[in-house]
Amino acid sequence: MVKKNVVLFVVLFFVLPTIGFAQAGGPPSIGPPSPPGLPIDGITGVLFLIGLIYGSVKIFKDSSS
């Protein structure tokens, strides 16, 4: 009989309030929208510049010969 009382005590005083508080919160707010355009980080910018320089040097060498 004591074990049933302990289980009932745990359910009534710990589990039920936790479930109630979890449901009272509501969904989190939506974050701000992302800025327009593609996100370009540092590595992408560096690779783009390397490709641009390589391509322009190659075109310049081919046109001068």
d(CA 26, CA 56): 56
Token code pair at residue 14: 């710990």
pLDDT of the residue at 2: 66
pLDDT of the residue at 22: 64
Helix (H, G, I), strand (E, B) or coil at 23: helix
pLDDT, one tens digit per residue, over 2-61 is 677 777 777 677 776 777 766 666 777 888 887 787 776 788 889 999 999 999 999 988
Helix (H, G, I), strand (E, B) or coil at 56: helix
DSSP code of residue 65 = -
Q: Taking the model in full, what pTM does it have?
A: 0.39
pLDDT of the residue at 62: 85
Tally helices (H) and strands (E) across the chain: 3, 0
Angle at the Cα of 39 from the Cα atoms of 35 and 44, rounded to 5 degrees: 160
